[in-house]
Chains A and B, each alone.
Chain A
C-alpha cells in the first residue's frame, strides 16, 4: 500500500499541469462550479479545446499507439482527469466518443473500423452520441424496439431513441437495434456504427428540467446502414453494449470523482460565505455536521476509486468498487446539491441573469441537473441489481 506516485507518474502529472496552466483560458479558474456535461454555449469552445488537448498528446492515453493513442495505463488516465478538473478545465466536446465509442471499437472493432474511426474521435473531427434508451426501454434496455431489417448488404432501421445527448451535433451514433425479434430479448440485438448524416434521421431537441436542451429524441425512418458497420457481429449487440456501459462507469467515473472534489470545496467555500440568521452558516452546528459528512463522503469516494484503479493496474476487473462508486456518487452528489441549496436559502431561488444571484446562479442549475444523476447511465435501482446479482450472487428477479 503506497499512495505516492512513481517518478514516471509524477513527471506525467507535471507535464499535464504545465500544459494546462499555459493553455487554459485565463478566466477559467475563477469559475466557481463546473457542470458534468458540456452545455450548449460551450460546444464550439469544447471542440477547439479538444483539438488542443489532442495536439498536446493528452487524449486516448490508454488507447493503442497505432490508432493515435499513447499506450499508457489507467493511472495516467486518472491523473489527467484529476488535473483537468482541478484546473476547472471544461470537458472535451466528444466526451461520449472518447469515453465510450472509442474503447468499445478498440475492444470489438475490425482493423478497418479502428482505422476508420479512432483517429477522428480523438481529433474531434467526428462527434459521437449514444443510441440506447427508447421511450419504452430505459432500465429494461434489452426490451428496445428499434428494428434493423437485413436488405442485401444493408440493414434498414426504423424506430426511435430518446435522451440522446449531443445528437444534434453528432456525426456518428452507437446504435443498439433489434435484428431478430424471434429470439429472447438479449439475443436479438445488434450494435451498429450509424452515420448520422444518413437519410431518414430526424433529431428533435428535448427540453429538460434545467431549461436546457441537452438531450434529444432521434427518429429513424427507413435509415440504411451498411452491414460492414456492425460492431462485434449480428446478435452480439448486448455483449458489445454492456462493454460500452462498463467503460462509461469506469472512465467517466474518474472525472466524476475529481468533479465531486471540486464541488465539495466549492460547497465549503459557500458555507464560509453565506450567513444564516446573522451568523456564518459554517458555524451552525447542524450544518457543520452535514458539511463534515460531505467532506467524509468525498474522501470515501476518492479512496474507493483508488482501490478500483489498483485492481485495474494489477490486471483485475474492479467489480464492486466501480458500481459502488456510481451509486455512492449520485446519492452523495444529490446530497451535496441539497446542502448547497440549504446554505443559499432564498438565494438558491435566483437563476442566471439576476444581479443578486450567488455564483451567477450556477447552483440553481447544478441542483436541478443533479436529479438526473441517479437515472442516467443506469438508474440507481439497476446499479443495485447489478451489485446484488453479479457481485453478491443473489438470484435474478
Chain B
C-alpha cells in the first residue's frame, strides 16, 4: 500500500505551480473576471501546449492518457491559483462525456480538437428546477422529419455555455418508467453555432467561473448527434458527474490549502496588542482547525480519485463522500481565512474573496454536502 504521489506526479505539481504563478497571477484572474470569455486565446494555447487539455484522454485521440489521480495534482494547483476560464467545463464535463460515451467518429471529431485547444466543450444539464437527478431533465428532443431530433427548452447554470463550441445537452426523449426513474434521458452533441441555440452569460457570485443560460429553440440535429444510447443517457451523466465531483474536490483542496497558507503567513506578521496575532490561541487554534480540514479534505479526495481510476466498487460512494466533505471544508476554511485577515480580508483588493466565492460556487456545483450525504445514506442502504 502506498498513499502518496509518485516522483513524476510531484514533478507535474512543480511544473503546474510555477506555470500558474507566472501566467495566472491575481492580476490575470481579475482581468478575466471582467472578460466574458474568462480566458485568453494565448493562455488557452499554453494549456494545450502543456498537454493539460488532453491529460486524461487516450493518446489515440491526441491526449496524454493519464488518470484522474494525475489530473488531481494539476487541479489542486489550478484551485490554488483560482484559475479562471473554461478548463473544467471543457475537459471534465463536455469532453469527458464524449470520452465516456462517444462513438469512434464522435471521439475522433472532438477529443483531438479539445486536446489541441481548437475547441471548447461543456455539459448543459441543469434547468429551472436546478435538480441534479434525471427528473430535472425537461428539455425535449423529439424525432425530426429527416430522421434526426429537434431540441427545445432552456438550460440554466451551464458552465461556460456562452463560449463553448459544442454543448453536450441532456434532453428528454421518453418518459421515466416505474422500474427506472432515470429512463428517457438522452445526450446530444450540439454545436453552439447551430440555428436556434442562444446563450447568455449570467451574473454570478464567482466571476472567475462563468455560468450561462442556454436556450434551444427548435434546434435541428442529425441522428449522428446522439451521444451514447437513446433513452439511456443518464448513466453516462452520472458517471461524468461522479468524476467531475472528484475533480472539483481536488481543485477545492488546492484553493483551501492556499487560503491556509495566506492566513498563516498573515497571522505571523500582523501585530495586535504588541504581538503577532498568530501567537494568540484564538487565532492559532482557528489556523490549526483549518489545517485539519485541509489535510482531511485531501485524504478523502485522493482516495476518491484513485477509486475512480480503478473503477473500484466503492468509487461512487467515495466520490460522494469527497464532495460532501470538501464542500463543507472549503466553505469553512475560506470563511475562517477572511476572519484571520480581519478587515483587509473583506476588501475587494485582497484576494481572499476570490477563494471565498470560488468555494461557494464549487460547493453547489454537482450537488452540495447535504445532497451527497443523502446519496451516501442511499448507497449504504440506510
Residues on A facing B (Cβ under 8 Å): 1-6, 9, 75, 268, 271-272, 282-283, 288-289, 291-293, 295-296, 299-301, 303-304, 306-307, 309-311, 313-314, 320-321, 324, 327-328, 381, 383-385, 387-389, 391-397
Contacts and interface: CB of A to CB of B under 8 A. Distances in A.
B157 interface: no
Given A2-B1, A289-B377, A321-B295, 10 more contacts: A1-B4, A1-B302, A1-B306, A3-B303, A296-B300, A296-B325, A310-B3, A381-B281, A385-B281, A392-B288
Given A295-B376, A388-B285, A1 B6 contact: yes
A300 B325 contact: yes
A364 to B, nearest CB: 24
> Residue among A2, A314, A394 with the most chain B CB within 10 A?
A394
A384 B293 CA distance: 12
Interface of B: prevailing SS: helix
Interface of A: prevailing SS: helix
Given A1-B69, A3-B1, A384-B289, A394 B264 contact: yes
A385 B284 contact: yes
Contact of A391 (B267, B291, B298, B321): B291
B380 interface: yes
Contacts of B43: none
Contact of A384 (B264, B288, B300, B373): B288
Interface string B320-334: 010011000000000
Contacts of A393: 264, 268
> Residue among A2, A301, A328, A385 with the most chain B CB within 10 A?
A2
B288 A388 contact: yes
Interface in B268-286: 268, 275-276, 278-281, 283-285
A304 B370 CA distance: 23
A327 B288 CA distance: 10
A152 to B, nearest CB: 45
B346 interface: no
A240 B83 CA distance: 47
Contacts of A321: 295
B296 A394 contact: no
A303 B299 contact: yes
Contacts of A272: 382
Contact of B278 (A304, A391, A395): A395
A310 B3 CA distance: 6
Contacts of A383: 288
Given A300-B296, A309-B3, A288 B284 contact: no
Top 9 A-B residue pairs of the complex, sorted by shortest distance between their CB atoms: A303-B299, A292-B373, A388-B284, A394-B278, A384-B288, A292-B376, A387-B288, A304-B299, A395-B279
B2 interface: yes
B75 interface: no
Interface string B1-22: 1111110000000000000000
B128 interface: no
B300 A303 contact: yes
Contacts of B5: 1
B278 A295 contact: no
Nearest to A331: B292
Nearest to A397: B279
Contacts of A385: 281, 284-285, 288
Contacts of A304: 295-296, 299
